[in-house]
Amino acid sequence: MNIMNYCESCRAEHTYTIKKELQVLRFRGQDIEFERRIAFCNNCGSLIDVEELENETMANVARIYSEKYGMTSLEIQNVRQQFKIGVRPFAKLLNIGPASVTRYESGSLPQASHLEIYRRLQQHPHVILEFFNRNKGSLSSRELKMVETALDAGTIAENSIQTDEQIIESIYKPYEATDLAGYNDFSLEKFINMILYFTTNGVLKTKLMKLLWYSDFLYFKRQTISITGAAYIKYPYGPVLKDHDIALAHLQHMNVIEVDERTNDDGWTMMMIKASEPFDSTNFTEDELETMREIEEHFKHYGSRKISEYAHNELGWLKTEEKQPISYKYAEELRELN
């Protein structure tokens, strides 16, 4: 069966041929060399944007990065073992399947949100109490007694524990009322519900980051204030939320979203973000909702690579240093939607 895809050059759907090329992409400050599969139109020979291949590329780059610069299986093992907790109760506390914990400790690549949890526990062991207080109801009586003994939970002050909500707010509140937040206070409810809006039917993480950025920046261009008050950073693949992996990990822990690492027929993985709660439109004004609808409609046929390339032509991305916050002042030069 010949698979067809839309060709921008031909302005029509055609079959395509996949070729492999050795490429180097910069990801999180590191040069990642890998073999990339690219599609070319069989009619005109132009490069075709095939979302599955772009998902594959992003997944491969992230995987190679994690293998080289992430946590080793021994480090992952040590995170659990420092608490002297078994695999099954540890998995219940983190709301991760025990099979996943076993795979991670055996060398499999954790999905980004899980890796972020492990990093937090490695750097701030007391955070285990946050997970314990939230998920201890899932433990059996025997497991509960064992974990309580292991953690000696009563010896750590309650005020040393931050909730998921507080951690997310701590990322963005330092920028409140500045040009890096769109001269607005950070609204956790708007932040959560804008993410819910764009993830109702599931969306890939790379595309989600661009949809959020365009919504906040386009609204700022028109109203001189952002919608959510969130700060965005320049990354190689375009603008992203500041500390986006941390924010998504905590939203997942709050059961606001699901992070689904999918594997296609060729064995490649992609990260899909899907809402776990209904979107609440009452948090927004009609103008804010209209801006979000415009962004959704304009980019509905864009794949991850295409929307990233589109964002790369915005002055805010071009003028900002890598891994630095993007000023909302650049929104004045943002392209209007056609």
pLDDT digits 0-9 by tens, 217-249: 999 999 999 999 999 999 988 999 998 988 998
pLDDT band at 310 (very low <50, low <70, confident <90, very high): very high
pLDDT band at 127 (very low <50, low <70, confident <90, very high): confident
Identity of the residue numbered 327? S
Task: Please report the pLDDT score of residue 161 as a whole number.
Answer: 54
The pLDDT tens digits for 149-161 are 888 744 444 444 5
Tokens (6 digits) for 323: 């891994």
Identity of the residue numbered 119? R
- For residues 8-20, average pLDDT: 90
Task: Look at residue 250 and tell me whether its pLDDT is greater than 60.
Answer: yes
Q: What is the CA radius of gyration of the chain?
A: 21
The sign of the CA dihedral 56, 57, 58, 60 is positive
- For residues 177-203, average pLDDT: 96
Considering the chain, tell me which residue range(s) the CATH 3.10.20 domain(s) occupy.
4-69
- For residues 261-279, average pLDDT: 76
pLDDT band at 266 (very low <50, low <70, confident <90, very high): low
Report the distance separating Cα 330 and Cα 320, nearest Å.
10
The sign of the CA dihedral 219, 212, 334, 243 is positive
Collapsing DSSP states into helix, strand and coil, what is residue 82? coil
Q: Is pLDDT larger for residue 294 or for residue 69?
A: 294
Task: Look at residue 191 and tell me whether its pLDDT is greater than 50.
Answer: yes
Report the distance separating Cα 6 and Cα 19, nearest Å.
17
The pLDDT tens digits for 93-103 are 999 988 999 98
Closest CA to 275 of 298, 250, 258: 258
Task: Please report the pLDDT score of residue 169 as a whole number.
Answer: 92
What's the chain's average pLDDT? Answer: 87
For 80, phi then psi, to 5°, come to -70, -45
Tokens (6 digits) for 243: 């500390």
Task: Please report the pLDDT score of residue 159 as a whole number.
Answer: 43
Report the distance separating Cα 257 and Cα 198, nearest Å.
11
pLDDT band at 271 (very low <50, low <70, confident <90, very high): confident
Task: Please report the pLDDT score of residue 62 as a whole number.
Answer: 72
Closest CA to 127 of 168, 94, 149: 94
Task: Please report the pLDDT score of residue 158 as a whole number.
Answer: 45
Question: Which residues, 6+ apart, have CB-to-CB distance to 322 below 8 Å?
Answer: 26, 29, 234, 235, 236
pTM of the model: 0.58
> 147-155 long-range CB contacts below 8 Å, 24 or more apart?
147/85, 147/89, 147/93, 150/83, 150/84, 150/85, 151/83, 151/85, 153/129
Identity of the residue numbered 171? I
Report the distance separating Cα 63 and Cα 206, nearest Å.
15
Task: Please report the pLDDT score of residue 267 as a whole number.
Answer: 54
Identity of the residue numbered 230? A
For 196, phi then psi, to 5°, come to -60, -40
**CATH code of the region 4-69:** 3.10.20
pLDDT band at 163 (very low <50, low <70, confident <90, very high): confident
Task: Look at residue 134 and tell me whether its pLDDT is greater than 80.
Answer: yes
Torsion of CA 97, 98, 101, 102, to 10 degrees: -140
Percent of the chain at pLDDT > 90 equals 50
pLDDT band at 336 (very low <50, low <70, confident <90, very high): confident
Task: Please report the pLDDT score of residue 199 as a whole number.
Answer: 97
